[in-house]
């Protein structure tokens, strides 16, 4: 089912005193004719009433709220900043899933059924722009200069829309099986496709590929009928992906040949994956509370041998009772690996080498998708009105 993209946000969602999408409301004040550091956030055209440098309800941009009683100083919240909350045109599901960041904009998927959507907002906050609505359980998402790509889990398809939302979304590939993770750079878009349920292998499990800018989708780029592919990550040479099974694996597939190598075996339901220059990182998120002692954040060399290292386990964390490590993020320019934990309602980080204790960056809600950009870590809250938040790292 193709959906109609909207080119401007509907005036329905309130962020503090700022109505998202209100005509005339600028995210920085520049577009509305206000002096730098001020803005007409209520959009009434009667004046530049907000000081973006110190207003905790509009910190750095209209609608960027300093949460949990935080203060705003020099456009920066003392704690987390909520840059978006809720979604236009209720009662569509606000459940946020995954996010991606490209050229100072945050893109994310939301919804677990037919009322799903794809949204974007400035990294500063401000009006939320719906890029696609009436999507059926949008899941993984990726962005490059050619557009926004996502997987609709229930409709088993890969969709695409322009980053400005000027044209309706269009179908890229109609799959026979469940598409899940999506990753992209300027050269290719890849997606993971499972033939069975979680942990169930079957004919048709594969990693698909779309060569940019206008290549034909190849759902047989890499076939693995013995796996249940889930989320994926890229570097210049390889696609990295997890087999979300009870005795799961972590794999890398050559972008040139489609051939694969195993980086780790016998992982307990691996969920999400990220890479930096030298290592691959992933979360193990068991499906039941009874097995949550096997939850973990892991690391392995990108070149082998197969000797994965446990960076974090519940045994070393006496503050958590129901661990469920979820999404994970890392980059080359930081000494930490970051992850969300839905079971304990936390956003955490730990040194990449496993030394020192984990650090809780935020506690609350149901954090899920996570990404790094500049000085900040960004995440989406799956349940609580689908908030998009950031915190200086």
Residues 6+ apart with CB under 8 A from 310: 296, 297, 298, 354
Q: What is the mean pLDDT of residues 53-68?
A: 96
pLDDT given for residue 23 in this prediction: 27
Distance CA 38, CA 62 (A): 9
pLDDT given for residue 28 in this prediction: 37
Residues 6+ apart with CB under 8 A from 318: none
pLDDT at 309 over 60: yes
- Show the tokens assigned to 280: 């691959």
Which range is least confidently modeled, 33-37, 120-124, 255-259?
A: 33-37
Average pLDDT, whole number, for the chain? 86
Every domain of the chain and the residues it spans = 175-392
Instruction: Read off the pTM.
Output: 0.89
Distance CA 113, CA 115 (A): 6
pLDDT given for residue 93 in this prediction: 57
Distance CA 228, CA 231 (A): 10
pLDDT given for residue 29 in this prediction: 35
Q: Band the pLDDT of 115: cuts 50, 70, 90.
A: confident
Cross-strand bridge partners of residue 188: 211
pLDDT at 192 over 80: yes
In a 13 Å sphere around the CA of 341, the CA atoms on its Cβ side amount to 30
Q: What is the mean pLDDT of residues 307-315?
A: 91
**Per-residue pLDDT reduced to its tens digit, 201-237:** 777 799 999 999 988 999 989 999 889 999 999 999 9
pLDDT given for residue 32 in this prediction: 56
More confident site: 16 or 230: 230
Q: What is the mean pLDDT of residues 14-26?
A: 31
Q: What is the mean pLDDT of residues 355-363?
A: 94
- Percent over 70 (pLDDT), the chain: 87
- Show the tokens assigned to 43: 């959009």
DSSP one-letter string for 199-247? T---TT-EEEEEETTTPPPEEEEEE-TT--EEEEEE-SSEEEEEE-STT
pLDDT at 321 over 80: no
pLDDT at 24 over 90: no
Per the listing, tokens 């956030």 go with: 41
pLDDT given for residue 7 in this prediction: 27
**Fold of the 175-392 domain:** Neuraminidase (2.120.10)
């Amino acid at each position: 089912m193709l959906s109609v993209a909207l080119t401007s946000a509907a005036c329905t969602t309130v962020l503090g005193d700022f109505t998202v999408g209100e005509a005339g409301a600028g995210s920085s004040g520049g577009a509305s004719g206000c002096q730098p550091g001020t803005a007409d956030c209520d959009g009434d055209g009667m004046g530049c009433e907000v000081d973006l440098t110190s207003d905790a309800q509009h910190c750095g941009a209209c609608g960027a709220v300093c949460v949990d009683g935080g203060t705003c100083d020099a456009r920066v919240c003392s704690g987390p900043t909520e840059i978006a909350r809720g979604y236009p045109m209720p009662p569509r599901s606000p459940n946020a899933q995954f996010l991606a960041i490209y050229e100072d904009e945050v893109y994310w998927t939301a919804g677990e059924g037919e009322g799903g959507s794809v949204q974007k907002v400035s990294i500063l906050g401000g009006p939320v722009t719906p890029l696609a609505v009436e999507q059926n359980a949008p899941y993984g998402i990726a962005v490059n200069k050619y557009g926004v790509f996502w997987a609709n889990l229930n409709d088993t398809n890969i969709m695409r829309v322009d980053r400005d939302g000027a044209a309706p979304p269009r179908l890229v590939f109609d799959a026979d099986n469940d598409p899940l993770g999506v990753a992209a750079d300027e050269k290719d878009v890849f997606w993971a496709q499972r033939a069975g349920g979680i942990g169930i292998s079957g004919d048709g499990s594969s990693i698909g590929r779309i060569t940019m800018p206008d290549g034909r989708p190849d759902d047989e780029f890499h076939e693995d009928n013995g796996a249940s592919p889930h989320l994926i990550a890229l570097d210049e040479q390889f696609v990295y992906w997890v087999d979300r099974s009870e005795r799961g694996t972590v794999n890398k597939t050559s972008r040139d040949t489609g051939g694969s190598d195993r980086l780790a075996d016998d992982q307990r339901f691996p969920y999400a994956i990220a890479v930096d220059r030298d290592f691959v990182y992933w979360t193990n998120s068991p499906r039941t509370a009874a097995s949550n002692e096997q939850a973990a954040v892991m690391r392995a060399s990108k070149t082998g041998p197969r000797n994965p290292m446990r960076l974090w386990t519940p045994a070393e964390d006496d503050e958590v009772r129901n661990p469920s490590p979820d999404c994970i993020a890392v980059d080359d320019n930081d000494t930490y690996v970051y992850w969300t934990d839905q079971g304990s309602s936390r956003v955490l980080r730990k040194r990449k080498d496993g030394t020192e204790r984990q650090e809780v960056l935020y506690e609350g809600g149901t954090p899920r998708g996570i990404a790094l950009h500049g000085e900040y870590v960004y995440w989406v809250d799956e349940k609580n009105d689908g908030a998009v938040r950031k915190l200086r790292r």
